[in-house]
Amino acid sequence: MHAQPDLQRLRDRLGSTVQLRTWRLVVFGLATLLCLSCGGGGGGGTYIPPPAPSIQSFSANPGTVTAGRQTILSAVYSNGQGVVTPGSIYMPSGYNASGVYVRQATTFTLTVTNPAGVAVTATTPVQVTVPPVGFQPTGNMVVSRSHPSATLLQDGRVLIVGGTAAYGFFYAAEVYNPATNAFTSIGPTLPMTSGQSATRLQDGRVLIVGGGSGSFIDDVEQPLGSTLIFDPTAGTFSGGPVLGTARSYHTATLLPNGQVLIAGGLGLQDGTLVPLSTAELYDPGTKAFQSTGSMINARSGFSSGFTATLLPEGEVLVAGDDSATTTAELYNPATGLFTSTGSMTVSRRNLSATVLGNGQVLVEGLGTNQAGSADLYNPATGSFSEVSSFAAVVGSHTATLLPDGTVLLAGGGTDGGPYNAGSSYAWIYDPATGSLQDTGSLNFPRVFLTATLLANGKVLVAGGQTSYTATPAELYGFTTP
């Protein structure tokens, strides 16, 4: 009768087996989970997403800006790369962005994106104040002169050379100092009067080339082949190399390689002044002039002016002259050759040419029937297109690119007669909107004047025909510092 003990032993065995299988299942399950957490049986690591980007600070200093001035953006962030809009400005963490010009109230947005494409944003507003803008009197010139040259020096002063008056010429130079608002005479008697060019070289010295001598033979003013070098540090003039061709009312363009392209102007041929097509290069390394390719058309700036404008890609756009041509051409420093490009929409006299922030060139002056007109030259297409609403602007004005990207057009006149006192009107052209707006008036009407953008963002307006009775200069810009 051993049935009871045998049954009990069977139950004990079954219980032990069930427990063993249960433990096996538990161990297997844990192993499976551990294996899965390790990336399965493939031997790879688990994908760990990059940490989320974060922005600790984003600010603009100053937060309130005078229109046309700069603010400095700064940011601290982690786990990504930051871009600021508007402008798509890349901004490393912990570094200040370069100055950003602000013309109107703007909210800047910083977007920081990590490698997985996860992004976070932060914003900072910038308020804008618009102070009174206009022309304010500054110091008096030593002499009143028209047709002078004005050159901004590296130290912020302005060198003014030559010029004419109703009854004579000026063989002298003067310097304007913005720190004192004063003009002072500088240097000895110079050989040229007007029609010269003055170009600041890369080393800070100024190359003064050619011009009219004030000496007449058979009623013809003799152009000069001489040049001068002005040293701002020493305040002295010294003789420079001789031109290949004596010329006046030419153009001078500083090229990216430091050479200066001298093109066109008036030269003598059989005792007669004629427009020139020749061009030459001043090389500061050899301190000498060398010939280069000639222009397709002879051009002079004596009565109506022509322009030579350095384009962003390094070529030089030449447009206008004393004739009624609409043609334009390009000089390529790499080849030393001039080639034709598109033509202006109308023939244009007493013109100016200004490179805009987008690389296009605003060419403005008197068009048909003495009416003001303007074109935009597009270097990408080599073509000109007409800009409307310029009928009020006269020729022989000045055109100055301002720090905010707009263009100040000031003064001018419809002819160059000795009793033309010029215009006192001024306008602002905004490339962003294509609009032309009045911006106050000059204190004195002027034609054949100069306008020089100073380091402080203001514009010095000096010289010009003002009935030859006034020597005051004036400043355009914000009336508060």
> 238 — phi, psi (to 5°)?
-135, 155
User: What is the secondary structure of 17-73 as a DSSP string?
Assistant: HHHHHHHHHHHHHHHHHHHHHTTGGG-PPPP-PPPPPEEEEEEEESSEEETTEEEEE
Q: What is the pLDDT along the chain (481 residues), one digit of tens a residue?
A: 444 444 444 345 434 444 444 444 333 444 444 444 444 444 457 889 999 999 999 999 888 876 666 788 999 999 999 999 987 788 899 877 667 777 678 899 999 999 999 999 999 998 877 665 789 999 999 988 888 899 999 999 999 998 887 656 667 899 999 999 999 999 887 877 778 999 999 999 999 999 887 777 656 678 999 999 999 999 999 999 999 999 999 999 999 999 999 999 999 988 888 999 999 999 999 999 999 999 999 998 876 678 999 999 999 999 988 676 899 999 999 999 999 999 999 888 788 999 999 999 999 987 766 677 899 999 999 999 999 878 777 788 899 999 888 999 998 876 544 456 678 889 999 898 888 888 888 988 888 899 999 998 899 999 988 755 557 899 998 644 3
Q: Domains of the chain, with CATH numbers?
A: 54-129 (2.60.40.10), 132-190+392-481 (no CATH), 191-349 (2.120.10.80)
Q: Between β-strands 197-200 and 220-223, what pairing exists: parallel, antiparallel or unpaired?
A: unpaired
Give CA–CA dist 288/378, Å, rounded: 34
433 contact partners, CB below 8 Å, separation of at least 6:
none
Nearest to 330 by CA among 315, 342, 346: 315
Write out the two tokens for 449: 């004047």
22 contact partners, CB below 8 Å, separation of at least 6:
none
Give CA–CA dist 185/113, Å, rounded: 59
Please name every residue paired with 413 in a beta bridge, in sequence order, or none if there are none.
395
Q: Using CB atoms within 10 Å of the CB of residue 109, give its burial: 0 to 12 exposed, 13 to 18 middle, 19+ buried.
A: middle
